[in-house]
Amino acid sequence: MKIGIANDHRAYDTKVKLKKLLKDYEIVDYGCYSSDMVDYPKYALTLAEHVKNHDVDLGIVMCGTGIGVSIACNKVKKIRCAKVDNYSEAKSAKEHNNANILAFSATSNSAKKIKKMIDIFNNSTFNTEPRYKIRIEQVEKYEDTNEY
């Protein structure tokens, strides 16, 4: 599995540690590449475009809170970015929402915890019951038509 990863300056150290833990995955790093201050949208949107174009199978995006990067990613059509804070949310992000990007707070989560949440997500399966499929279809229809 190929995972794209992006971050801002506040998540740089966590990303470095996380990449070492993700040795079972092929990693594509979309930046940033230091702890020097940067604007997160550049990196989050770059990652989202690569996920949308299927250059990577899953996106991981991090900033201090995970909130800003998740908002940015969700501006890109066909992106379902879930800000995940615990193991239950990681599982639900896949089973209920079929997320294609996971957003994490680098200040609230260790690299080890983020790795475990990624593994839980990847070991879960999207629930294809009609209620879950219909909800995703409604979001995608709204992206295209501005109606449900």
Q: Which positions are catalytic?
A: 63, 96
* Longest Cα separation, the chain: 46
Q: Which residues are CB-neighbours of 61 under 8 A, at least 6 positions away?
A: 5, 6, 7, 43, 44, 47, 48, 69, 70, 73, 81, 101, 102, 103, 104
